[in-house]
Structure 1
């Protein structure tokens, strides 16, 4: 009984400490969540482009350096963009980001990294992306963000077709 009480007390203390750290603007720690938004895909082939919904999961870690925050993350998104000869089905990213705290709970950041896009019948290809976003802690351990990314996939899967995509997404994360 005492062991269980000690365990519950320790867990409660850790949870309260994490909540206090997030509410005071400490960005250090892991996060996970979801994102949903819009994607616009263009190709170097005349008339082959498309747009629609995109959404998925986010995972990452941030480190608070005072006024600055640095971190890394992983995103995986599902989509269904018809480009005629192929359908874009998913996009995943490995991210690095750095940002400035405009207030203790608000972070303006730049982001970039590696991306991979998959299709239904033309395989997948890797590329790069760059972008920016704003994230706000809205409750203890909960943040909401808006993020705009530009992606480029040159010579998609050795097809001589260049593909670029722009995404605009709203993100919600639980910060551990």
Structure 2
């Protein structure tokens, strides 16, 4: 259900009236979203998340866009009982996509670092997103990301964390 709501939000952004945009150069922005963490046993939790991002895209002129981004989200997801909390997640993502005119569709892959009340771990992050320019400098986007942590907190606990983010970015 959560994935369905997130997909509907991304599709609604894509169905806005067309505005010519250029997905090239540096940008920074803010985002708000939803984080859902699933761990062993009853160590599950979710919460609203918020944070910032900074990145750079390079358009090859043929529609292909390649970029990189650093992102930080404050999560504060309570994992239930004695499970502790996931406090924040930082990401370094490589982005590749195609400019479909008014919309950039892209995939991301990279590294994520989770800070928790019971330890920290670095894992894999991957996902998809859509970006839509609202003006020449402002764009809105939506991302659905999956994080895989294989030893969160050093206790051998595997966690999958899904995030659904709506973002606003300013291009320089």
Q: How far does residue 101 in structure 1 lie from its aligned partner after superposition?
A: 0.9
Matched, 1:59 2:54: yes
Structure in which a larger fraction of residues adopt helix: 1
RMSD, matched Cα: 1.1
Quote the Cα distance in structure 2 between the aligned partners of 1:153 and 1:124: 10
Match of 2:109 in 1: 112
Aligned to 1:159: 155
Q: Which has the larger radius of gyration?
A: 1
Match of 1:41 in 2: 37
Following the alignment from structure 1 to structure 2, what is the Cα–Cα distance between the partners of residues 50 and 31? Answer: 31
Q: Distance in 1 between matches of 2:21 and 2:132?
A: 10
Which one is further off, 23-32 or 144-153? Answer: 23-32
With normalisation by structure 2, the TM-score equals 0.84
Structure 1 unaligned spans of 5+ = 1-22
TM-score, normalised on structure 1? 0.83
Structure 1 segments, 4+ long, off by >4 Å, are none
- After TM superposition, list the pairs within 5 Å mapping 1:47-86 onto structure 2: 47-66=42-61, 67-84=63-80, 85-86=83-84
Return the offset for 1:24: 4.6
Q: Which blocks of at least 5 consecutive residues in structure 2 are unaligned?
A: 1-18
